[in-house]
Amino acid sequence: MAADIAKALLRDVARRGMALDAARLGELEVLYERLAGEALRGYEADALVNGLDYDRRGECEAIRTFSLRRREAGAAFLSPSPGGARLPDWEGVFNAAPRFRRTLLDAVAETDVSEVLPLRRMAG
């Protein structure tokens, strides 16, 4: 399940326009490790202050497991999909064809909204 969560997160981040390459995935890994360590210490302190048991070993294992699955998901994300290469993200498209952004924006501006709105209502 951790691998599925990691893959879904990577797909969502890419869909939102962030270019994900090996360097960026490495940055995300370092950030995850730092934030996970901070959360671990914070939860441990909360448990101590409130007199609750805290399974530090179990939490560390969960962090390691998710970290491993996240790395696997990143490697799978970067590898070409079975049906061919992945589609580039929008930034990749705009970098490869700098005038495309303006062409796209002009096409959207010229679109007759009355033709689009009925389709939107039907989909809802």
Q: Is the pLDDT of residue 116 over 60?
A: no
Q: What is the mean pLDDT of residues 19-30?
A: 88
Nearest to 77 by CA among 5, 11, 4, 30: 11
Q: What pTM does this model have?
A: 0.57
Residues 6+ apart with CB under 8 A from 1: none
CB 41 within 8 A of CB 47: no
How much is the pLDDT for 86?
Answer: 54
Report the mean per-residue pLDDT for the chain: 82
Q: What is the pLDDT of residues 30-87, one digit of tens each?
A: 999 999 999 999 999 999 999 999 999 999 999 999 999 989 888 888 887 654 445 5
Q: Where are the domains of the chain?
A: 1-87, 88-124
How much is the pLDDT for 108?
Answer: 81
How much is the pLDDT for 122?
Answer: 46
Nearest to 90 by CA among 82, 98, 79: 98
